[in-house]
Structure 1
């Protein structure tokens, strides 16, 4: 009978230890979860601040933006003129070569 009681006490102690260990693990998981939630919330706030900063910077017009836009427009016009003149010169060269070959015959 005493052996049976001792065996039951050991089993009870083992189960009690396992229950305590399980509760401790649950507490650790809960603590980890709350720490991760706090970290996630900090990251969200940081992302929100960064997005606000980005929008603010995008709204600000640089000091020389107007001049840059005007110069870009002028460059585009000059390029169009260059391309037109180049094509005209090439067409005239072709006509000249046709005329020279016709005169040579």
Structure 2
């Protein structure tokens, strides 16, 4: 299992185990991570699963696709490390991933 840590806006760290092949958003929903709304269920048609990939992980995770970039236009407080968690596939290379949950979703 791949470990993912979600950091809430108040600094609370929530450590989870993710199934390879799932997404960071699906893992958040399965573990009740506050702040990950995922209104579209992972179809990349909203911005309610917005996260900030921790600086140490941005190169490994990679950047958003063109479609994801378009949806990030609807997110609040977009930063260079912003991603939609529904578009980040879990794999062994992401073991230890850290993402930060924004204070509000789009």
Same fold (TM over 0.5): no
More helix by share: 1
Indicate the structure (1 or 2) with the bigger Cα radius of gyration. 1
Q: What TM-score results when the alignment is normalised by the length of structure 1?
A: 0.12
More strand by share: 2
